[in-house]
Amino acid sequence: MDRYDQDCELAIARTMLNYNPLHCLPSAEDLPDSDDEPVDNELQDLIPSLLKAILAWI
């Protein structure tokens, strides 16, 4: 393995160690709280509730 390959592997390893997945997420102010459209299907209400329950359980 030459010096260039070693430098590339070291740079990748440093990036992976410093990776913070929460850093890339938008803040609460950036996310809309409503699109002002009424729910026209019961599944449109049940799916987000199910996802919230799964995340709370995890």
Q: What is the pTM of this model?
A: 0.33
3-class SS letters over the chain: CCHHHHHHHHHHHHHHHCCCHHHHCCCCCCCCCCCCCCCCCHHHHHHHHHHHHHHHHC
Which pLDDT band, with edges at 50, 70 and 90, does 53 fall under?
very high
pLDDT, tens digit (0-9, with 9 covering 90-100), for 4-48: 777 778 777 766 666 666 677 777 777 777 666 666 778 888 888
